[in-house]
Amino acid sequence: MSSTDREQWATRIGFILAAVGSAVGLGNIWRFPFQVGQEGGAAFLVVYLAFIILIGLPAILVEFVIGRRSERNPIDAFERLGYRAWTIAGLLGVLGGFIIMSFYSVVAGWVTRYTLASATGAYFAEPAEYFMDIAAGTDALLFHLLFMGLTAIIVGLGIQRGIEMAVKLLVPALVALMVLLIVYGFTLDGAVQGYAYYLSPEPGAIAANWTSILPAAAGQAFFTLSLGMGIMITYASYIDDERSLVGDGAWIVGLDTAIAIMAGLMIFPVLFTIGVEPGAGGAGELFIGVGGAIAGLPGSRIIGVLFFGTVLVAALSSAISLTEVTVSFLIDRFGLDRPVATGIVAGGIFLLGIPTALDLMVLELYDQVTAELFLPLTVFLLVLFVGWFYDEALDEVSKGVSADWLPGAWLWHVRTIILVVIGITLILSIQGLIETLPETIEAIELL
Ligand code: TRP
């Protein structure tokens, strides 16, 4: 397709909702509260919010600039712009996405399981024990297969449009259910403790733990905004030139962040009420926290099915965007048919995910390595490229923007502060991984 007749987003809201559909998923609802719990509560929230605004939003614009200017996917974009060597950044993103998808599917499998288990009330009596029973083993493997199969069918048939439509209806439904659960949490005995833990940082907590909080907050910000994988490059390749990238970016970041904050408000009051210490549940935080809340509500079975069912659709729409990047790469590069490419990718993702379905520690390891290493490294390369090598970034970001000072300020920020902060984050991530790796490997009980 020549650049003039390339398809474009029909409406501004259509693009924003599609990008929000990719961004809102397990990252907001499952991963965010789990990170808050592991990093000690409110101190993490503060650093995370600062990171989202100061780094996440400008970094989304970096992907938008590459995407709209090249009108290509992340692998072909650099060649099209005349910088072939940078293709390596696109490849790294695709690889990271492939690994993320392998455990994302296992977590989405848990969600599938909980949708069914809500109907029978299986986890109501003992939310924490139930999670530990089903999180790893044959059951988890089976639901991983099921979810990956479902994703593959949708991507293989090329029918993601239908899902995107469903997401537009379900995001509001999800928000409504979350509001309900938040209001319920407010009435619980543990509410005050829960809010204090989540919202009020202890003095000195950030300074004392910043070397682990910063890489965790950065990883969470990239993960939740679908950054570092070229998803936003691909979406932006369809935005027309009159539109302000800055305005669209702000909407996407704002909606995504609001949903994450709500997930925390929903979960922490419950954890304190049922006596589960935040962080102790690890990757189970969402299931234990919300499971406990739902169990206490009238009409709990229906609410449970609706809640986990909507989370499942949100997870599916994100999973599609993750899988699609690798599939379209195989189609474009090697001329494979869509069903064949999808079969190869889905099969590979399933196999790679098997260890994460058998042991929670492995899942947390995959998760940490991708979020804290692959994503920031890819974003670092993209920021370096746009800030220092690509001459036309300023021109691209200025389109449709009325505040004259803004594009220049953005570019300066990208070239200096963002590059330095992500650079420091990467060093801390690598240090942290080296320190914890031996312990983690020892704790793995696969064999
Ligand atoms: N952002 C999604 C979530 O929060 C997950 C996701 C979709 C993602 N595409 C991505 C994460 C690309 C990293 C990179 O659930």
In DSSP notation, 364-384 reads HHHHHHIIIIIHHHHHHHHHH
How many helices (H) and strands (E) would you count in the chain? 22, 0
Binding site membership of 321 for ligand 1 (Cβ less than 6 Å): yes
Residue 33 domain-assigned (yes or no):
yes
| 223 CA to centre of ligand 1 in angstroms | 5
Q: Whose CA is nearest to atom 2 of ligand 1?
A: 23
Distance 61 CA to ligand 1 centre (A): 16
Closest atom of ligand 1 to 26 CA is: 15
Q: Can you give the CATH number for the domain in which 100 is found?
A: 1.20.1740
pLDDT at 443: 81
Residue 4: inside a domain: no
What's the gap in Å between 164 CA and the centre of ligand 1? 15
Give dist(CA 27, CA 219) in Å, integer.
Answer: 10
25 alpha carbon – ligand 1 mean position (Å): 7
Tell me how far apart the alpha carbons of residues 97 and 323 are, in angstroms, rounded to a whole number. 8
For ligand 1, atom 4: residue with the closest CA: 27
Q: How far is CA 194 from CA 274, 279, 295, 322, in A?
A: 11, 13, 18, 33
Close Cβ partners of 47 (under 8 Å, ≥ 6 residues apart): 206, 210, 213, 214, 217
Instruction: Write out the two tokens for 95.
Output: 């690889």
**Distance between Cα 402 and ligand 1 center (Å):** 31
Residue 1 is assigned to a structural domain of this protein:
no
Q: At a CB cut-off of 8 Å and minimum separation 6, what does 227 contact?
A: 56, 59, 60, 63, 221, 375, 379
Q: What is the DSSP letter of 74?
A: T
Does residue 5 sit within a domain? no
Angle between helices 127-135 and 138-157 (to 10 degrees): 70
Q: Quick check: is 28 in a domain?
A: yes
Residue 389 inside a domain? The answer is yes
Question: Which atom of ligand 1 is found nearest the CA of 321?
Answer: 9
Is residue 384 a part of any domain in this protein? yes
Residue range(s) defining the domain that contains residue 121 = 12-446
Decide: 223 in ligand 1 pocket, CB within 6 A.
Answer: yes
pLDDT score for 237 = 75
Residue 2 lies in a domain: no
**How many domains does one find in the chain?**
1
pLDDT by position in tens, the chain (length 447): 334 445 666 666 767 777 888 899 999 999 999 999 999 999 999 999 999 999 999 999 999 899 888 887 788 888 889 999 999 999 999 899 999 999 999 999 999 999 999 999 999 999 999 999 999 999 999 999 999 999 999 888 877 666 667 777 778 888 999 999 999 999 999 999 999 999 999 889 999 999 999 999 999 999 999 998 878 887 787 777 878 888 888 999 999 999 999 999 999 999 999 888 898 888 999 999 899 889 988 889 999 999 999 999 889 989 988 888 888 878 878 889 999 999 999 999 999 999 999 999 999 999 999 999 999 999 999 999 999 999 899 998 988 888 889 999 999 999 999 999 999 999 999 999 999 888 888 888 765
CA of 320 to the centre of ligand 1 (A): 10
What pLDDT score was predicted for residue 4?
42
Which of 100, 226, 261, 373 to mutate for ligand 1's pocket (most ligand atoms within 8 Å of CB)? Answer: 226
Q: What is the pLDDT at residue 384?
A: 97
